[in-house]
Amino acid sequence: MHKKIIAILIILFNVSLHTSCRIVVFPEKLPSFYLDINQKTNNNEKTSDNETNEKSITPYLLQSGDVIKDNGFFQVGEVTFLYSNDIFKVTNNSESIVRVTCMVIGTKVDGTYEILQYAGFGGIDQTKYKKDLEENGWAVEHYTNMIRPGETLYATLSISDFQYEGVPKPDIDNDGFYELKFMISPQSNEDVIEISLNDPVSDMYKLPVD
């Protein structure tokens, strides 16, 4: 059984991201998740800017070490990440609640790496927002990195570019790119933050500093 680490890591993940993340292997074909990506919704309800920007997208598979650009996607297990207009559309097709964590790393010559910081990664919990609105007539937007089975989170990435002595720069090699790895952590329920040493971690992807 996986050993769960809930103590110090909970604090680290909560400080830098309002939720957590996971990532790993990439398929040769587009996942079924994208089959309806060009279809227009018949729903008369108000849609977010993120949803309307998806009208005509041709996703392409990102490879290890690639620069993350619009319409690039990768998949970790049953969790799919699609990037567009500074937003990560993260869909959980698994049967478990997951939390997504993003790490900014520095890669060494021998291929190993060090974690420079845990980036903020999360978005609005739309399910909770709609539920509270229906029940109370008002609702507060709660940011999270948790994704329930079958749901999609529109997440933003926040990297702290510190300029203090003793604090590593997120672009530590000064090549103009942040190096990122993502981790997916299955959760037993919504009220806990569970981290396992066996949680899958993605390959490294790059994001331009500017």
Could you give the CA distance from residue 91 to residue 153 in angstroms, rounded to a whole number? Answer: 6
Name the 3-class secondary structure at 12: helix
Q: What is the DSSP string of 100-137?
A: EEEEEEEE-TTS-EEEEEEEEEEEE-HHHHHHHHHHHS
Kindly report, residue by residue over 157-196, the tens digit of the pLDDT.
999 987 777 889 999 999 999 999 999 999 999 999 999 9
- Reading the block at residue 100, the tokens are 């997504």
In the chain, what is the straight-line distance between the N-terminal and C-terminal CA atoms, in Å? 42
- Report the pLDDT value the prediction gives residue 8, as an integer from 0 to 100: 34
Kindly report, residue by residue over 9-49, the tens digit of the pLDDT.
333 443 344 333 333 333 334 444 443 333 333 343 444 55
Kindly report, residue by residue over 70-99, the tens digit of the pLDDT.
999 999 889 999 999 999 999 999 999 999
pTM over 0.85? The answer is no
